Amino acid sequence: MLVLKAKGERGRIDLVEFAPDSSALLTAAQDGQGIRLWEGLPNPSAPRLYPDIALRGLNPIQHAQFTPDGRSILLRAKPLGICDRVTGTVRAVEMWDATHGCHFALAPDGLTFLATQYVSYGQPLGRITSRPLADPTAGAALWVQELDRQLNYPPVFLSRERFAVVDVPLAGARDDMRCTVRSARTGELLFSCDASTYGGTLHPSPCGSMFATPNATNVHIFAVGESSIELRATLQNDSRKLFTGIAFHPSGKYLAATSNDETVKLYDTNTWEVAHTFTWKIGRMRSIAFSPDGALAAAGGDKGQVIVWDVDF
């Protein structure tokens, strides 16, 4: 087990993300200094800081994803940004409204990405686009869908052919939330269902046959069929504390959840019972991720610390 903490780090770690080759870990804290990259896992040297991201006003970074070749990092920001891993320079991706934030999802093949944006006035309230990563400009868009509903949460790929996203009408209540499954080729709506019990943020399983969404002290598990979404299970935190982050193991056998009760719990996806509980006494846990090869896990804490451990279950 490793405990990583950059010098002077004090903000809570709301994001941990492994590089494709599992040899590096990206972390982002709520301290406004940018993002850090710990390279050389499992024995990393001092992290590289990318302060340019903070200077461009892109913090707090709540979502990031490496490209498959590991050379670039997509960042959920205002606007959307693509960071060069070597130089740390950030290329802003032009969206429709520079005053509103964006969400994104990188396609499984890494060649394209989805980007969503919403506005709080006028029409359309939301837009979804698919663009090539090699040319992320608006003019190169493969398609654009305009919606009369807001897109407050990131889209997620269920497969190369389908993605899911939660939307809500202007000033809509939670009872008005819906989850839509759309074609990745065209953005066309395939089917939708009520999402009033969702937490909003969706976490798909590796095979895309289900997704999990945290909602306060619960995590809801949904099965995704050809034309429907059905509730499969509801996990309730036995401490009654809020869940703060979740992630599926690449094998699909476990779902990990961080919590304000200072633990990381691993749930067996066959029984949905707690299979392992980890406690490191570093305060509340905020974020969780598994390395792509499934050999490592990382969890971010409330006081700037990151725990990295071998996955041996």
pLDDT tens profile 192-245? 998 887 877 899 999 999 999 998 899 999 999 999 999 999 999 988 899 999
Task: Compute φ and ψ for 176, nearest 5 degrees.
Answer: -95, 0
**Mean per-residue pLDDT of the chain:** 89
Whole-number Å distance between alpha carbons of 124 and 75:
24
Burial (CB count <10 Å: 0-12, 13-18, 19+), residue 45: exposed
pLDDT value of position 60: 60
Find out whether 266 and 258 touch, Cβ atoms under 8 Å: no
| Kind plus residue range of the DSSP H or E element containing 54 | helix 51-55
Q: Report the SS3 class of residue 57.
A: coil
Find out whether 109 and 130 touch, Cβ atoms under 8 Å: no
Find out whether 213 and 231 touch, Cβ atoms under 8 Å: no
Reported as a pLDDT band with limits 50, 70 and 90, residue 270 is very high
The CA-CA-CA angle for residues 277, 274, 255, to 5°, reads 90
**Arithmetic mean of pLDDT, 236-261:** 94
Whole-number Å distance between alpha carbons of 54 and 1:
30
Whole-number Å distance between alpha carbons of 51 and 36:
9
pLDDT value of position 88: 84
pLDDT value of position 44: 92
**Arithmetic mean of pLDDT, 56-60:** 53
- This prediction has a pTM of 0.92
Q: What is the number of residues in the chain? A: 313
Q: Give the C-alpha distances (Å, rounded to integers) separating 281 from 129, 200, 208, 232, 288.
A: 43, 29, 34, 33, 16
The alpha carbon dihedral of 253, 265, 32, 116 has a sign of: positive
Tell whether the model's pLDDT for residue 182 goes beyond 70.
yes
pLDDT higher at 102 or 285: 285
Dihedral class, residue 207 (left if φ above 0, else alpha if ψ from -120 to 50, else beta): alpha
**Backbone Cα Rg of the chain:** 19
Find out whether 284 and 262 touch, Cβ atoms under 8 Å: yes
Tell whether the model's pLDDT for residue 65 goes beyond 80.
yes
Most confident of 48-57, 90-99, 170-179, 291-300: 291-300
- pLDDT, tens digit (0-9, with 9 covering 90-100), for 87-134: 888 888 888 876 777 899 999 999 999 999 887 677 888 999 999 999
For residue 91, give both structure tokens: 């290329």
